[in-house]
Amino acid sequence: MTATETPRTLWKIGSRWNATGAPGNSVLGVFNRHQIVFVGSDQDHFARIQMGDLLAITDGALVVAIGEATSLPQAITEMSISFADDDEAEDFCYAEVLACKARIVFLKEPDRFQAFDGGKGRRGAAFRLPGQLEHVKALWDAYRSESEVKKEFSIKARSCTLLGRDSLLDAHRRFLVPVYQRPYSWTEEQVRKLLSDLLLSFRGTDGNASAEPIFIGAMQISGPKKMDTRDDVDEHDIVDGQQRLSTLLVLLKVIQSKCADAVPAAMRSLGFGWLRTDVDRGAQQRYLHEFLVSGLPPAEGQLLNPYQQNAILLERLLADEIAPMPADMALPPLDLGKFAEYLLTRVYFVVIETQAGLSKTLQIFKAINTAGLDLNGDDIFKLRFYEYLRDVKGRKDASASFEEISGLYECIDTHNRKLGRHVFGMSDVLAMYQQILVARHELPVVLHTYGTDTFFQRLFDVILHVDKWDHFQSAAKVEVSLEDLRALIDVRFHWEQMVQDFSEETKCSLHFIWWSRYGKYSLLPLLFCFRYGKTASVDRLVRQLAKLLITYSVYYRKAIYEISYGLWADLAKDMFAQHVPAEDLIAKLDGKTRAWAEHLPSHLDELDIACVPKAKNLLCRLSAMLDEDDLRSVTDNRLVELLFQSEIDIEHIEPSNNKDGTKREAIWEQWGDELNRIGNLMVLEQGINRSIQNEDYEGCKIPAYARSRFQTVRDQARSTTWDLSRCLDRKKREVAKIVNYLLAD
């Protein structure tokens, strides 16, 4: 340690979120997603952590990740962290839990080691590990250096005008709008705004001010590349700024068409061939060429050519500016010659020239882009996938490759139009593909949990040798396929029709999956269709999956990591790496559900479901579904709309707070926990429930129940009285009905 280096402490941080440290309930995923660590015990030790201290994060005694504290400990409730549903934040997000921010990396299998406290045999969530500090420091430095490897690139920036001393244009430079860019698409509002700004800077508000330079934004271009036809001419791709540059070209061409001598000789000599475009399968270049060769068309009719559209607009606006003004008007007519010279010599860009691959160029674009449309995840995937096909798969026809990729997006748009609404986008398709790629190539299980944009960004970083990332060490072997994406788009489109043809039971099962603690599993039937085809087995998979997830969601009071991600990864691996037959996969789900046969009846019998919102809503809706007729044959949406899309409450048949306050104590003493158990609860339309509130059963509730659309409620209305004995009988029937259904074939 040098004289100026701050001493560091190594802390062991446990990740098992239970009182005994027993296996299960690990919060490693929460640590990683939010780059924090926290403990619920050993607060006095954890509170001593300093910024810069090293962390050895364990699963049991095994150190599986290391990190560096980047903040001092504080109550987790003060950290403004947006926990996801799967984080089950309510289980640890309270003031007594201390947390600190950290940079965390997971260790490769060979680098994992046992935490050793010098033979003291200590147990706990947080304590010092002085004997292993140097080992962890070496690991941390090695992992950090590896993750910071960057592909070399150069970047140059300069201020310039179109012509002049520091000019953008000259006889040896051309500019290309590359195939991955958007078409020229500036609207009338944007064109008017640019011309207004230019005129205001040129002549002021009264027409007598001296022309002032104007800065109209940054322009990003690639490094030079030689054109095929002339060795002394370089071409640059326009990464950002094509809309402004194209509009200036149109404006100068319009000025030349109105007065040929208005454009300076240097510009007339240079001409307008310095810009071309590969966008939109050559259509944009045809539009540009048509405009440059033919000039302005007649103003009548609706033009498809965007360059001509804006040329007509600019011609009309300039005509107003150069027309003679009445003597009492403040502004003199616009001098086109001087204005053209101003455009070429006093309108400034900051030109950023990058010598780098497309991926690095896009990173720079995202950092500097302020005026144009930002790139979203779909845009970035399209560009990275194009780079992958070009540089990794060796496809040299750039236009054809980008056309195929664009065709995927057009296919999605076509399907959405057929469906009459926006049902899915490329981000939904990529979310499915992420799960397939992780399973098919047996990548680390943690990658199933990554956000889709982050996953594909890092995947392409590794494949294209732009950067290295934890957990992506073996990702270079991954194949990203146009055929896979086309098939996934087809599956997603046809899924909508498949759902319409499902029975009411299967449709409800889909909603039970979404309503469970494991909503992510709603993707599994789609992956099943992709893997096995659109077979009759998918409806059985949906029903069996719903049964299993209902069981898990009712038995455990929070989402379990091993179910959220461990089981998910296991099933995905079965489908895409182990090639397990479809029937065996469904049987596996059935077996996991049947494993609860011994515990489920007693659990449901003793569960105060009114105190567990997830269990209450699942079980009461399931009970109501099972009391309906012809679940397997009906294919309309009546029951789905009734159970999941209408406003319903969970009704206490015997009120937990009787309207007659004098009866409450006696009811609580007699009924005890049975007030909140399945025998005393059922679904009920919200309107009916609010009308009867906490009234007595015989006088008010029976006639109200008889009006219900639910068969289970109308059945209850046939019971002319309600007491604890009848409640216990009903609970017995409800438990048997639910258990028999969940464990049935």
Say yes or no to pLDDT of 3 above 50: no
The pLDDT of residue 19: 64
Q: The dihedral of CA 417, 422, 427, 431: what is its sign?
A: negative
pLDDT tens column, 587-605: 999 999 999 988 999 999 9
| Nearest-5° Cα angle at 244, 243 to 249 | 100
* Distance from C-alpha of 620 to C-alpha of 712, rounded to nearest angstrom: 10
**What's the pLDDT score for residue 368?**
60
Q: Lowest-confidence range among 103-112, 121-130, 325-334, 691-700? A: 325-334
Of 373, 375, 350, 372, nearest to 361 by C-alpha is 375
How far apart are alpha carbons 46 and 42 in whole angstroms?
Answer: 6
Q: How do residues 359-377 score in pLDDT, each as one tens digit? A: 667 666 666 655 454 555 6
Confidence of residue 722 (pLDDT cuts 50, 70, 90): very high
Which is more confidently placed, 448 or 328? 448
pLDDT at 399: 67
Residue 593 to residues 23, 545, 556, 609, Cα–Cα distance (Å) = 22, 9, 14, 20
Given pLDDT bands bounded at 50, 70 and 90, which one contains residue 409? confident
pTM for the structure as a whole: 0.64
In this prediction, residue 586 has a pLDDT band, given cuts at 50, 70 and 90, of very high
- Whole-Å CA distances, 488 to 425, 427, 483, 522, 647: 11, 12, 9, 15, 34
Reference 116, options 107, 129, 103; nearest CA is: 129
What is the distance between the alpha carbons of residues 262 and 459, in angstroms, rounded to a whole number?
Answer: 53
Taking only the tens place, the pLDDT of each residue in 456-494 is 989 998 998 888 899 999 998 899 999 999 999 999 999
Confirm if 157 and 349 have CB atoms less than 8 A apart: no
Q: Evaluate if residue 165 carries a pLDDT over 60.
A: yes
pLDDT tier for residue 84 given thresholds of 50, 70 and 90: very low
- Dump pLDDT digits (tens) for 287-301: 999 999 887 776 555
Max mean pLDDT among 209-213, 467-471, 728-732 falls in 728-732
pLDDT at 527: 96
Amino acid identity, residue 290?
E
- Of 588, 495, 493, which Cα lies nearest the Cα of 538? 495
Higher-confidence residue: 52 or 260?
52
Is 390's pLDDT higher than 50? yes
- Between CA 293 and CA 274 the distance in angstroms is 14
pLDDT at 223: 83
- Alpha helices by DSSP H, listed for 372-451, are 377-391, 398-419, 426-440
- Residue 722 is classified by DSSP as -
Asked if pLDDT for residue 745 goes beyond 60, the answer is yes
Q: What is the DSSP string of 625-692?
A: HHTSS-TTT--SSHHHHHHHSS-EEEEESS-SS-SSGGGHHHHHHHHGGGGGSGGGEEEEEHHHHHHH
Q: Using CA of residue 664, residue 669, residue 673, residue 678, what is the dihedral sign?
A: negative
DSSP 161: B
Residue 516, pLDDT score: 94
Nearest residue to 425 (alpha-carbon basis) of 436, 414, 409, 407: 409
Report all structural domains of the chain as residue ranges with CATH numbers, in order of start: 10-147 (3.10.590.10), 155-368 (no CATH), 426-589 (no CATH), 604-743 (no CATH)
pLDDT at residue 1 greater than cutoff 60: no
How far apart (Å, rounded) are the C-alpha atoms in residues 206 and 193? 18
Report the mean per-residue pLDDT for the chain.
84
**Parallel/antiparallel/unpaired status of strands 62-69 and 74-75:** unpaired
Q: Do the Cβ atoms of 115 and 58 come closer than 8 Å? A: yes
Model confidence at 455: pLDDT above 80: yes
Select the more confidently predicted residue: 700 or 359. Answer: 700
% of the chain exceeding 90 in pLDDT: 40
Spatial separation of the C-alpha atoms in residues 631 and 625, rounded to whole Å: 8
Helix (H) or strand (E) holding 352: strand 347-355
pLDDT of residue 40: 75
User: Containing H/E element for 598?
Assistant: none
First to last CA, the chain: 66
Pairing of strands 154-160, 62-69: unpaired
pLDDT of residue 150: 40
Tell me if 148 sits within 8 A of 74, measured CB to CB. Answer: no
Residue-wise pLDDT for 179-199, tens only, equals 888 889 899 999 999 999 999
Whole-Å CA distances, 71 to 48, 51, 53, 539: 12, 5, 10, 50
State the pLDDT at residue 109: 85
Burial class (CB in 10 A: 0-12, 13-18, 19+), 727: buried
Element of type H or E holding 354: strand 347-355
pLDDT given for residue 149 in this prediction: 46
pLDDT band for 323, please (50, 70, 90 cuts).
confident
Contact 551, 516 (CB under 8 A): no
235 pLDDT higher than 60: yes
Torsion of CA 300, 302, 303, 306, to 10 degrees: 120
Name the 3-class secondary structure at 127: strand
User: Which has the higher per-residue pLDDT, 300 or 495?
Assistant: 495
Nearest to 688 by CA among 728, 640, 653: 653
Q: Please give the Cα distance from 578 to 605 (Å, whole number).
A: 39
Asked whether the beta carbons of 534 and 497 are under 8 A apart, the reply is no
Q: Give me the residue label for tokens 């030349």.
A: 256
In three-state secondary structure terms, 69 is strand
- Which pair of tokens denotes residue 490? 């087809």
- As given in the structure block, the two tokens for residue 547 are 């049964």
For β-strands 98-106 and 36-39, DSSP reports them as antiparallel
The CA distance from 367 to 383, in Å, is 16
Closest CA to 607 of 495, 453, 739: 739
φ/ψ (deg, to 5) at 73? -60, 145
**Inter-CA distances, 269 with 223, 273, 691, Å:** 25, 11, 85
Q: How crowded is residue 121: how many other Cβ atoms within 10 Å of its Cβ? A: 6
